[in-house]
Structure 1
Amino acid sequence: MHIDHAATASERRAGIIAVASCLPEREVTSGRLQESVAAASGLPLPPRVLERVTGIVSRRAVADGEYASTLAVRAARTALERAGLAPHDLDLLVFASATRDMAEPATAHVVQAALGSRAHALDVTNACNSFVNGIDTARAMILAGRARRALVVTGETPSRAVRHAPSGAGQLRDGFAGYTFGDAGAAVVLEAVERGGIVDVDTETHSEHWRVGGIPGGGSRHPRGDEHTYFRGDGGELRAVFEKVGTSVLDRMRRRTGLDWDDFRHVLVHQVTVPYLDRFVELTGVPRDRLVVTVPTLGNMASATLGVQLDRVHAGLRPGDRLLFVGLGGGVSIMTMVWEKA
């Protein structure tokens, strides 16, 4: 367990001053996805099983020639425009995503080259918590005096890890969680602020569960072979882990900050399926009207999920409004971040 208090009242804080997101144009319905999987595999799938089990009606998917960096660059340009900044105004660029363009170099350099920035550029990767981890990394660099202004971007294309032609029921079951995936990008600009900003960060990590799910290919264990490029995981086991340990970090946040659910304008939580989100509400007591629900029409967007949700509500926020970010990532890690609009 690691607890990180973002700042005391007398210290400056890092705040989010601009937000943007990017969704690919191509929409893939669960019905169409199920038809293609059934046709490619020859497996007899029950009618509308993908939609009924996940609650996901549709999701977005990148086209040929679109990559993780493509979505990140589009979101980044919009965020910079909304902040009234140029790329050369940045000191730090963090690409924070579960998806990368390639194993090496860091995708941050691909994004930076497209933007024309000269900032210090690096990648941060931690499954679906990558974007929140990237924001926390940028916050720490700003508070340490290492950067004045930072751009954190994500580009997620998990649709490319979906097994569209399982060879049997076993492969279908192992890769079923992949059918929830949707692609998206997001970006935020951070700088030091005198009021509001990121006021609390907390994390909890249970790495003994790292085998529960993931994409094993691309590293030194499985550097080659298409078989290792598909997402594999036990969704039920992963859900059980989060149910067992996920509420404690929320309880600590509420005790430490003195904030209750009614003190937050919105609660942004990583969303895997509709039943999973329903279970989160049941376990935590978070009022459903505080949630920004995206999963039915956009699916599981990996680390971009919270960025897309933030972009959807950001324009309607007033100074003093607080948001709670709740990140859930394979590995397994849970993360909370309290942000107050300046």
Structure 2
Amino acid sequence: MTIRATVIGVGHYLPDRIVENAEFEETLETTDEWIKSRSGIERRHFAAEGQTTSDLATRAARAALADAGLDANDIDAIVLATSTADLTFPSAATIVQSELGMTGGFAFDVQAVCAGFVYALTNANALILSGQAKRVLVIGAETFSKLMDWTDRGTCVLFGDGAGAVVLEGQDGQGTKEDRGILAADLNSDGRYKDILYVDGGVSTNDTGHLRMQGKEVFRHAVEKLASTATTAMGKIDMTADEIDWIVPHQANIRIINGTAKKLGLPRDKVIVTVQDHGNTSAASIPLALSVGKQRGQIKPGDMIVTEAIGGGLAWGAVVLRW
């Protein structure tokens, strides 16, 4: 018998404020058509004044717990992926733990920028397989609007705020790829490329900073590395592309999403796409897309799913799971 970390609940939360592309035309030399043609983004959500990452994360967590039919104290651990935590410390995860009324277990943050949820999911899987936890709440949450340089049209139009969460539970499997749950994962990073996507500030520089990106360089790395990590993860269970029901990619840019699917030999109708409505929500984008995909009736029990993401670091990775 094999233990599998299985998704038993999913949920998301988006702030109330919706920002259409046209709003940027008032302050930047850009147009709705320019933004859509280069990114596929039509709108995004921004957190309200005073609304923090942990606020968004808590709401998504409650939705996932409700979907799983569980209370917060049924959870053993929280792993929260974010690059925009409320405070330097404590972790946003412990703030969520308190807000949920979870009095036991443990909670911590994972920081791998846009690849954060893949890293968090892999860490949560390891906690379950090692017996450290039976149920883990895995959250991706971001308020990237706090990091934008509103004069830089190449970045500020791309990002949005939001949160998504899944509940993982250790369940018995047969040790085959027919099992439900996480079946394989692949993680990578290469700090040599740290200067093509970063924030130019931090605690030790005494400056919050803004997001900086060399868009063409990021694109050049993204498609190749995303297709490669997905292929590597699939290879660990001798899985082929025709066995995939859905690819749920990091929602950064429609051209990257389409390019990766093409490189994997997958048709567009097997890709969950939400980037048009949410923009790039960094670590939140994959769990947001999973939740929306379920709500739409696309993702169903037994479906084989591949998730993949790349972000600053560079850090990238993929997870293969059966829903």
The TM-score, its normalising length taken from structure 1, stands at 0.86
What amino acid maps onto 1:99 in structure 2?
A: T
Residue in structure 2 matched with residue 93 of structure 1 by the alignment:
78
Say if 2:255 is the partner of 1:275.
yes
Q: 2:159 aligns with which of 162, 181, 197?
A: 181
Q: Which piece of structure 1 moves more, 211-220 or 47-56?
A: 47-56
Residue in structure 1 matched with residue 22 of structure 2 by the alignment:
31
Residues in 2 aligned to 1:150 and 1:70: alpha-carbon distance in whole angstroms: 19
Q: Structure 1 residue 243: deviation in Å?
A: 3.7
Aligned residues: 314
What amino acid maps onto 2:227 in structure 1?
A: T
Q: Which piece of structure 1 moves more, 48-57 or 73-82?
A: 48-57
Q: How does 1:206-221 map to 2 (within 5 A)?
A: 206-220=190-204
Q: Structure 1 residue 319: deviation in Å?
A: 3.6
Structure 1 residues 206, 84: closer, same or farther in 2, change over 3 A? same
Q: Is the 8 A contact 2:119 2:187 kept in 1?
A: no
Residues in 2 aligned to 1:262 and 1:215: alpha-carbon distance in whole angstroms: 39
Q: Structure 1 residue 16: deviation in Å?
A: 1.2
Q: Is the 8 A contact 1:261 1:287 kept in 2?
A: no
Structure 1 residues 301, 145: closer, same or farther in 2, change over 3 A? same
- The unaligned stretches of length 5 or more in structure 1 are 1-9, 39-43, 167-171
The TM-score, its normalising length taken from structure 2, stands at 0.91
What amino acid maps onto 2:41 in structure 1?
A: I
Structure 1 residues 46, 125: closer, same or farther in 2, change over 3 A? closer
The 3-state SS of whatever aligns with 1:129 is helix
Say if 2:265 is the partner of 1:285.
yes
Say if 2:290 is the partner of 1:304.
no
The 3-state SS of whatever aligns with 1:194 is strand
Q: Structure 1 residue 12: deviation in Å?
A: 1.1
The 3-state SS of whatever aligns with 1:179 is coil
Identical columns (%): 31
Q: Is the 8 A contact 1:24 1:62 kept in 2?
A: yes
Residues in 2 aligned to 1:57 and 1:333: alpha-carbon distance in whole angstroms: 27
Structure 1 residues 70, 16: closer, same or farther in 2, change over 3 A? same
Structure 1 residues 163, 318: closer, same or farther in 2, change over 3 A? closer
Q: Is the 8 A contact 1:68 1:154 kept in 2?
A: no
Q: How does 1:153-232 map to 2 (within 5 A)?
A: 153-164=139-150, 166=151, 172=152, 176-195=154-173, 196-220=180-204, 222-224=205-207, 228-232=208-212
Say if 2:235 is the partner of 1:249.
no
Q: 2:98 aligns with which of 86, 103, 113?
A: 113
Residues in 1 aligned to 2:197 and 2:168: alpha-carbon distance in whole angstroms: 32
Residues in 2 aligned to 1:309 and 1:243: alpha-carbon distance in whole angstroms: 19
Residues in 1 aligned to 2:126 and 2:313: alpha-carbon distance in whole angstroms: 23
Q: Is the 8 A contact 1:142 1:192 kept in 2?
A: yes
Q: Is the 8 A contact 1:31 1:50 kept in 2?
A: no
Residue in structure 1 matched with residue 317 of structure 2 by the alignment:
335
Structure 1 residues 52, 252: closer, same or farther in 2, change over 3 A? closer
Per-residue deviation, residues 49-102 of structure 1 (Å, max 9, x unmatched): 333332311111111121101110001111111212111111111121122111
Per-residue deviation, residues 26-70 of structure 1 (Å, max 9, x unmatched): 1101110231x33xxxxx556743333323111111111211011
Q: 1:103 aligns with which of 68, 75, 88?
A: 88
Q: How does 1:30-69 map to 2 (within 5 A)?
A: 30-35=21-26, 37-38=27-28, 44-45=29-30, 48-69=33-54
Structure 1 residues 246, 276: closer, same or farther in 2, change over 3 A? closer
Structure 1 residues 272, 72: closer, same or farther in 2, change over 3 A? same
Q: Is the 8 A contact 2:184 2:236 kept in 1?
A: no
Residue in structure 1 matched with residue 134 of structure 2 by the alignment:
148
Residues in 2 aligned to 1:89 and 1:13: alpha-carbon distance in whole angstroms: 18
Residue in structure 2 matched with residue 4 of structure 1 by the alignment:
none
Q: Which piece of structure 1 moves more, 95-104 or 314-323?
A: 314-323
Q: Which piece of structure 1 moves more, 44-53 or 285-294?
A: 44-53
Q: How does 1:235-246 map to 2 (within 5 A)?
A: 235-246=215-226
Q: Is the 8 A contact 1:162 1:179 kept in 2?
A: no
What amino acid maps onto 1:258 in structure 2?
A: D
- The unaligned stretches of length 5 or more in structure 2 are 174-179
| Structure index of larger Rg | 1
Structure 1 residues 255, 87: closer, same or farther in 2, change over 3 A? closer
The 3-state SS of whatever aligns with 1:303 is helix
Say if 2:110 is the partner of 1:124.
yes
Residues in 1 aligned to 2:188 and 2:236: alpha-carbon distance in whole angstroms: 15
Q: Is the 8 A contact 2:142 2:161 kept in 1?
A: yes
